[in-house]
Chain A
Amino acid sequence: NAGVTQTPKFRVLKTGQSMTLLCAQDMNHEYMYWYRQDPGMGLRLIHYSVGEGTTAKGEVPDGYNVSRLKKQNFLLGLESAAPSQTSVYFCASSPGTVDGYTFGSGTRLTVV
Chain B
Amino acid sequence: KNEVEQSPQNLTAQEGEFITINCSYSVGISALHWLQQHPGGGIVSLFMLSSGKKKHGRLIATINIQEKHSSLHITASHPRDSAVYICAVRSWGSQGNLIFGKGTKLSVKP
Residues of chain A having any CB pair with chain B under 8 Å: 31, 33, 35, 40-45, 48, 50, 56, 58, 90, 92, 94, 96-106
Contact = CB atoms under 8 A, between A and B. Distances in A.
Q: How large is the interface on B (under 10, 10 to 19, 20 to 34, 35 or more residues)?
A: 20 to 34
A97 B33 contact: no
Interface in B56-85: none
B103 to A, nearest CB: 7
Interface of chain A: mostly helix, strand, loop or mixed: loop
Contact of A101 (B30, B94, B98, B103): B98
B42 A33 contact: no
A98 B30 contact: yes
Nearest to A48: B97
Given A103-B42, A105-B41, A56 B48 contact: no
Contact of B45 (A35, A96, A102, A106): A102
Interface of B: 2, 4, 30-31, 33, 35, 41-45, 48, 86, 88, 90, 94-103
A106 B42 contact: yes
Given A41-B102, A42-B102, A101-B45, 14 more contacts: A33-B96, A40-B102, A42-B4, A42-B99, A44-B100, A50-B96, A90-B43, A97-B30, A97-B90, A97-B96, A100-B33, A103-B44, A104-B42, A106-B42
Contacts of B31: 98
Given A42-B86, A42-B103, A98-B31, A58 B97 contact: yes
B97 A100 contact: no
